[in-house]
Structure 1
């Protein structure tokens, strides 16, 4: 079994291509980083819902673009749940507009970034951030998306 991706575009205004962009981006990240076997969930929500998740789980009372929640290891359960990603549709639109980037490119970047967090990548140190960003660049380049950090 390969990676299963369940996308719930709950945001009422989510664009029709949202699910396809997310799945394509995560599949590319999976191929570059593994691949891994398991299941992940992706929730696309509005700023209010993401703000509440951010407040509850990180103690930060404001919306953010993407949150990742890695699941605890449970090897005896099949398929293995790797975790969940929550993306703010509204923040993604605002950031894409502010950076003059196509919405789909920014959404793909956030999906890749969130997925890499589920695999254990982080940006807590400069070296870790550089490694994660390099991998993101490679994955996005495979999708024909320019370097998001070179803007």
Structure 2
């Protein structure tokens, strides 16, 4: 399978426990996980932040006063632009807490949220309707299974 080209910048904020997160999200894996979710060439920056920065960005851009797991800022996407251009901001403490609650390895949760954010950068939206949410979840599940992970939304039976 031929995957779209990707220029990826991986940025790390300074926060307690950053070494655990760097180990769970090495650059080569971030590139692999994002590329598998792409449907077009892309230039994407992934920034891993602490709770304070995640909360400030969520409040500033979405009006929600809490740190969320992933924020997607899409600047251009095909067909209007030749490449997907986006920033994905992942809040490390939120991902760590969610992974523990879900009983999943941190790396697997990073993979899921990178896939999820990359789909958002290409126009997928799970908040517009139940049908859109179902379609996006099905695509995420297919991508995650193709990467060797389980269905991120749990068993389907």
* TM bin (shorter chain): 0.7 to 0.9
Give the alignment of 1:63-102 within 5 angstroms.
Answer: 63-72=67-76, 80=83, 82-102=85-105
Distance change (3 Å), C-alpha of 1:21 and 1:11: farther
Q: Residue 16 of structure 1: CA displacement?
A: 2.7
Task: Please point out which of 15, 29, 39 is paired with 2:37.
Answer: 29
- RMSD over aligned CA atoms reads 2.2
* Unmatched 5+ stretches in structure 2: none
Partners of 2:70 and 2:46 lie apart in 1 by 10
Q: Which residue of 116, 120, 128 maps to 1:113?
A: 116
Which string of whole-angstrom CA distances, capped at 9 and with x for unpartnered residues, describes residues 26-53 of structure 1?
01112xxx2x123111101111101000
Alignment of 1:1-151 (within 5 A): 2-12=5-15, 13=18, 14-18=21-25, 19-30=27-38, 34=39, 36-72=40-76, 80=83, 82-123=85-126, 124-150=128-154
Unpaired runs of at least 5, structure 1: none
TM-score of the aligned structures, taking structure 2 as reference length: 0.84
Contact 1:21–1:104 (CA under 8 A) maintained in structure 2 = no
CA change 1:76–1:67 in 2 (3 A) is closer
Distance 1:23 1:87, change over 3 A: same
Instruction: Number of aligned residue pairs: give it.
Output: 146
Q: TM-score, normalised by structure 1?
A: 0.87
